[in-house]
């Protein structure tokens, strides 16, 4: 589903976030990206979602070459990818359900169908009683679950999560990891950047260790 071939990402100023990375992630896999901060985890995720483009090498997602993807094609790629952000990126000018429904509005869903699906996902992440609340009134863990709900509502085949449990205490973190395990079990491909060792041992799956932009595969 995802393949990197000799991918290098160099930022203006010369900092090299990724150096000659090659990897393959199969459909339905659960992969953890680990490494110290600044090792290139976020850059790697950004390259998969075409938020950034590689300086050299080939990134391919679903058989599409990301470097050659036209600006117009990027939105359609992203509709197949659920993104979970460490800082949630929620919109505070609307309530919980309107945040979740946003991807479906963008994809042109019928409003009633969209609300039905959004409600189902909100139920799954345990926020059904907060449906009308403004996300600003939610706790950190709830905001993260809301972000996950938004990522999942479009039923993406691929979920990318950047430090999804970064700011959460252990209880919330375990909840969220359990949720990811469920998605993995229904066939979603997951790539999770984290340094939460407990989560990795709890869920199993493959671990890719990034060190200064280079990759080393650790045993699960």
Tell me if 172 sits within 8 A of 180, measured CB to CB.
no
Distance CA 100, CA 152 (A): 9
Count other Cβ atoms within 10 Å, centred on residue 85. Answer: 19
Q: Round to whole Å and give the CA distance between 155 and 159.
A: 9
Nearer to other proteins, 105 or 197 (CB): 105
Residue 77 beta carbon to other proteins: minimum distance, rounded to whole angstroms: 8
* Residue among 214, 171, 208 nearest 190 (CA): 208
Q: Is 37 helix (H, G, I), strand (E, B) or coil?
A: coil
CB 103 within 8 A of CB 145: no
Binding to other proteins (CB under 8 A) within 120-179 occurs at 150, 154
Question: Mask 30-59, x = binds other proteins (CB under 8 A)?
Answer: -------------------x-x--------
Which residue, 71 or 132, is less far from other proteins as judged by CB? Answer: 71
Shortest CB 91 distance to other proteins, Å: 6
- Within 93-112, the residues that bind other proteins by CB under 8 A are 93, 102-103, 105-108, 110-111
Enumerate binding residues for other proteins (CB under 8 A): 49, 51, 71-72, 75-79, 83, 89, 91, 93, 102-103, 105-108, 110-111, 150, 154
């Amino acid at each position: 589903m995802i393949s990197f071939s000799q991918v290098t990402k160099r930022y203006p100023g010369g900092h090299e976030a990724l150096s000659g990375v090659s990897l393959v992630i199969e459909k339905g896999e659960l992969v953890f990206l680990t490494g110290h901060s600044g090792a290139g985890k976020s850059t790697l995720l950004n390259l998969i979602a075409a938020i950034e483009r590689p300086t050299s090498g080939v990134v391919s997602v679903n058989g599409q070459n990301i470097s050659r993807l036209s600006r117009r094609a990027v939105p359609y790629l992203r509709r197949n990818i659920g993104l979970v952000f460490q800082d949630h990126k929620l919109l505070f000018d609307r309530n919980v359900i309107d945040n979740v429904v946003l991807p479906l509005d963008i994809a042109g869903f019928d409003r009633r169908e969209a609300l039905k699906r959004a409600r189902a996902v909100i139920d799954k992440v345990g926020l059904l009683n907060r449906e009308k609340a403004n996300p600003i009134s939610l706790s950190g863990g709830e905001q993260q679950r809301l972000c996950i709900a938004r990522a999942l509502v479009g039923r993406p085949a691929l979920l990318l999560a950047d430090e999804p449990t970064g700011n959460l205490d252990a209880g919330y973190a375990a909840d969220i990891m359990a949720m990811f395990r469920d998605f993995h079990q229904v066939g979603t491909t997951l790539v999770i950047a984290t340094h939460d060792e407990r989560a990795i041992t709890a869920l199993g799956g493959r671990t890719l260790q990034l060190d200064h932009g280079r990759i080393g595969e650790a045993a699960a």
